Chain A
Amino acid sequence: MTALIAAVLVLLLGAGVCLLPLRNAVRAAIGIASQVLATGLVWFTVVPVLMGGPAVIGDLAWAYPVGTLRIRLDALGAFFLAWSLPMTLLGSIYAAGYLRPYFNTRRHLGLHYALLNLTSLSFVLVYTGDHALVFLLGWEIAALAAWLLVIWDYTNQKVRFAGFNYLVSTHVGLIFLVAGFMILYTHTESWELGSFGDWLRRNPGSERNAVFLLLVTSFGLKSAFFPFHSWLPRAHAAAPAHVSALMSGVIHKAGLYALVRFVWLIGTPDEWMGWFLIAFSACSALVGALYTVGQRDLKRLLGYSSTENVGIAGIGFGVGCLGLSWHNPALVAIGFAGGLLHVLNHAFFKCQLFYAAGAVYQATHTVDMEKLGGLARLMPWTAASFLIGGVAISALPPLNGFTSEFVIYSGLFPGAAASSGAEAMPLTAKVALCLAGAMLAFVGAVSALSITRAFGVVFLGAPRDANVVPPVEVSLWMRLPMALHGLGVVILGVLPVLGFMLVRGPTEIALAVLPGALPATSAGVLDAIAHTLSNIGVVSGTLVACVLLLLWLRSRWVKPPVASHVTWGCGYGKPNARMQYTGSSFSSDFAQRFRGVMVTLRRQKAPEGYFPTDAYLITDCVDAVERRLFSVIKHGDASAGELSGHLREDDPRIAFAAALVALVLIAGLVVLAGGPLQ
């Protein structure tokens, strides 16, 4: 408790000192140092809670309208805090390398580091606040800090537009959140999440459903679920790489935290809520994965894959939610443990991928994959980092993405083991879950496609564009965060039990929510998951060992030197780099089959005449949701204009008619509400 408050104060102090007139390098050092200190202080409180200790609870007296502020750190909050702060710290370290060109300019870097500190601060508030106002305050600090971090390059109009797009979206989300909280407050007259939970548990019905939908919309906007994702690719493409990484990997996980928190507060959710979550998340996973296929901007691609991955985690939470409504401990454990594990794994590999993309940008000044190629030879560290992250994000063994998707899959194909819970699972539910599993398999294959495309085009082959500066490997400041994230990805993949140890505490809370829960049953289902995960670890380890053995045997068998020759081009001996397969040709066949979702714009000038001079073809995959949104606004604007053309403002008849309609509506509402208010 004291350590948490100390961490908040250290972060605030660090942010304040960063703003003082100092050299930029000193400001960066102060920012990083305060984050190191705060991380240590937070871990000091978090680690005991995560290892099974009691929740840390404390009250802070505050002035009148707020009342007592309750701070409550349980295993769920501890789980999120445990990695959010260190990852922000790594992001700040990366920033020291990424923003190096600005260090000796007049640009004030202190503000940037102060905002990074505030981001860390917002995590402490959101993940420990048991008071709705503290929660909202943290939520808002995170949103504003992220906005200001996104518009680092504010002189660029596109960047400002992306920033405002994000700011508007996140505040639309805030409106939904506040609406949900207001409904809860009117019933409980308390700002404490615990009393919200009491009311939610006792009053199933339409109002609870409305609150659920409001909150899911808000959290969906925060975490960029489809169809609320359209701000995300813009913001991720515009922001500096470490900001994209932190937003995608860490900051927007707050939406998932809040989702899980409120599902647990509901206690026994209605069955439709679980199905709704699964369907909503499955749509996100599917559409997000499809969008990654067409992108030519590496960071936009990674942004869309966030939508995909929050969807995958959401499927897990949906399964857990179904388990809560069916009182099935095995499904509760699998769903929430799988979902939370995926959140952690995603934070590891997504930050890593964004860091690698940022390294590409710093070295070549572009992230347009059609201009890049053959970077693996010149930037081996970055290439290895992107490959590790890519294999993990495609959920392939032996890396960590596989372990969490495995747990989620095992909830979708429960077999006899899970249905022997309190009541057997209905057949239709089994079939529906099986269909969700098939869809997840499709999503996995699609994300493997887009990662092959991205890695293959950017890092393999030969450089495509002679105008791109020949890159050199980035500085150690940028390689260190990549290496640490990569290490995490590998360790969590080969020793998945370590990751499970972190999510075990939170999952126990979910199991305790079940009525009539026995500690023995909870321990049983959790041990079963741990056992299966240790099998995965053994298999992954075997796979790595087999590959190493084969490579060793090969090195004994084939003695250098080996011959080298030009790539086979059907007998053509002078291939050039422009003849390579491009990213858009890689995806065009697949994109063609999903035209409805993946809108591809083409601009072309076909070669004409016997001696064509110039010809080009430019394809770009744009966001269908955003296009649709704008076209609806356009049509709405046009029809509103048409209507106002027919009506004359100074006509008194229209004013009378409008007043009459308003009166009738109000009377109708009064009648429906059961008489005038008491």
Chain B
Amino acid sequence: MTVDVALWLGCVHVAIVLTLPILLVGIVNRTKSLWAGRKGPGLLQSGWDLLRLLRKRPVYSAVATPLFRAGAWVVLAAAVLAALIAPVLGNFAPLQFHHDFIVFAYTLGLARLFLMLSAMDVGSSFEGMGAAREASFSAFVEPALFLLIGSASIATGHTSFAGLIGHVHNTTAFPLLAIPAVAVLFILLQAEASRVPVDDPLTHLELTMIHEVMILDHSGPELAAMQFAGALKLTTYAGLIAALLNPFDPAAAPLAAVVTALAIMALVAVAVGFVESLSARLRMRLVPRYLMLASIGAGLCLAAAANAWSF
């Protein structure tokens, strides 16, 4: 890869990280409203919402400590860092080194820890409940991601996140591995970005929320940071699916790779909207089972990778 192409791709990646969260949330919401027979808000509506929140003055709980204010910004910084490690355009990421996927997973873990601590900081029973749910559900999600990465690493022999996700489509394991891998990433997306059927971002009752209940007491710029970080996680996981399926090598055919990646990510957003229109949130008791599906799917990926390798 020449330096020019790498620089260009890096700029595109950063642009995607900064703008696509807004657009993808717009696409999800537009899909849902079209399905419900409404015209729906504009595609950039969440961007305007963020601007409005940034201009508002925050109101803090009387119980909150300085940790509460810092928490939102830690969450945002960690989510941005993770998004810079995650491949979006295929075999390319601006931050790329050996075993960077561990940094990806654990940076998101840091974001989650500070999200939960900010929730606990206001001393509300509802927010504590949300944090407890987030903590226990994330424990069921984490093994799936690592199993998936492990199977991609066995299939490709690469050690960087971009390398192993971006090269899977060249391997003999791809036909067997593609479907479970996309399913796993889709479930992970729903869990990490708090979408139906794991969590409903539009629910009105605090008792049934996970992510939304944790940011009940956030307002103004802090709320904007939390919301952008949430949308960024959606983008990151949609980007992972795009990188897995993208047949173009970004070094050889940069333009084609970028266009395909954007198209796949938009399709993923449409799919998220479809699921949200057609199904309801699962009962809390059933959510861990749904998340275990991701681990089972990742186990299938592992079996597929091992199988293809042995032939």
Whether the pair B221, A557 counts as a contact (CB closer than 8 A) is yes
Closest A residue, CB atoms, query B305: A431
Stretch at the interface among B36-44, B142-150, B239-247, B262-270: B142-150
Whether the pair B106, A581 counts as a contact (CB closer than 8 A) is no
Stretch at the interface among A192-200, A531-539, A619-627: A531-539
Whether the pair A568, B217 counts as a contact (CB closer than 8 A) is yes
Within the complex, what minimum Cβ distance (angstroms) separates B221 from chain A? Answer: 6
Q: Could you say which of A441, A557, A566, A577 has the most chain B C-beta atoms within 10 Å of its C-beta?
A: A441
Whether the pair A402, B106 counts as a contact (CB closer than 8 A) is yes
Whether the pair A438, B120 counts as a contact (CB closer than 8 A) is no
Stretch at the interface among B10-18, B22-30, B70-78: B70-78
Whether the pair A445, B128 counts as a contact (CB closer than 8 A) is no
Within the complex, what minimum Cβ distance (angstroms) separates A321 from chain B? Answer: 20
Whether the pair A536, B153 counts as a contact (CB closer than 8 A) is no
Whether the pair B159, A416 counts as a contact (CB closer than 8 A) is yes
Whether the pair B121, A558 counts as a contact (CB closer than 8 A) is no
Whether the pair A452, B120 counts as a contact (CB closer than 8 A) is yes
Q: Check B279 for interface membership: any CB of A closer than 8 A.
A: no
Inter-chain contacts of A569 with B (CB < 8 A)? 124-126
Q: Complex Cα distance A121/B290, Å?
A: 55
Whether the pair A590, B77 counts as a contact (CB closer than 8 A) is no
Contact status of A397 and B124, CB under 8 A, knowing A415-B153, A562-B57, A586-B132: no
Per-residue interface assignment for chain A, residues 415 to 454, with 1 indicating a CB less than 8 Å from any chain B CB and 0 otherwise:
1110100000001001101110111111011101101110
Whether the pair A567, B61 counts as a contact (CB closer than 8 A) is yes
Q: Complex Cα distance A547/B229, Å?
A: 13
Within the complex, what minimum Cβ distance (angstroms) separates B297 from chain A? Answer: 13
Contact status of A397 and B159, CB under 8 A, knowing A449-B139, A461-B120: no
Q: Complex Cα distance A532/B138, Å?
A: 27
Closest A residue, CB atoms, query B220: A558
Whether the pair B106, A397 counts as a contact (CB closer than 8 A) is yes
Closest A residue, CB atoms, query B225: A550
Closest A residue, CB atoms, query B96: A535
Q: Could you say which of B65, B139, B153, B164 has the most chain A C-beta atoms within 10 Å of its C-beta?
A: B139
Whether the pair B306, A460 counts as a contact (CB closer than 8 A) is no
Q: How large is the interface on A (under 10, 10 to 19, 20 to 34, 35 or more residues)?
A: 35 or more
Whether the pair B113, A396 counts as a contact (CB closer than 8 A) is yes
Q: Complex Cα distance A444/B143, Å?
A: 10
Closest B residue, CB atoms, query A589: B136
Closest B residue, CB atoms, query A546: B77
Whether the pair B109, A394 counts as a contact (CB closer than 8 A) is yes
Whether the pair A373, B139 counts as a contact (CB closer than 8 A) is no
Q: Check B91 for interface membership: any CB of A closer than 8 A.
A: no
Which residues of A320-369 are within 8 A (CB) of B? Answer: none
Q: Check A551 for interface membership: any CB of B closer than 8 A.
A: yes
Inter-chain contacts of B147 with A (CB < 8 A)? 434-435, 438
Cβ 8 A contact of A391, one of B113, B120, B128, B144: B113
Whether the pair A579, B125 counts as a contact (CB closer than 8 A) is yes
Rank and list the top 9 A-B pairs by shortest CB-CB distance, nearest first. A581-B128, A456-B120, A461-B123, A434-B150, A416-B157, A415-B159, A449-B135, A445-B139, A546-B77
> What are 18 of the A-B contact pairs (CB < 8 Å)?
A412-B150, A415-B153, A417-B159, A431-B306, A437-B150, A438-B143, A438-B144, A446-B139, A449-B136, A456-B120, A456-B128, A461-B120, A543-B78, A557-B54, A564-B61, A567-B124, A581-B124, A586-B132
**Interface of A with B (CB < 8 Å)?**
373-374, 376-377, 383, 387, 391, 394-397, 402, 405-406, 409-410, 412-417, 419, 427, 430-431, 433-435, 437-442, 444-446, 448-449, 451-453, 455-457, 460-462, 528, 532, 535-536, 539, 542-543, 546-547, 550-551, 554, 557-558, 562-570, 575, 577, 579-581, 585-587, 589-590, 593
With A405-B102, A551-B73, A564-B62 given, can you name 10 additional A-B contacts, CB distance below 8 Å?
Answer: A394-B113, A430-B154, A438-B150, A448-B138, A457-B120, A532-B99, A564-B61, A577-B123, A579-B125, A581-B131
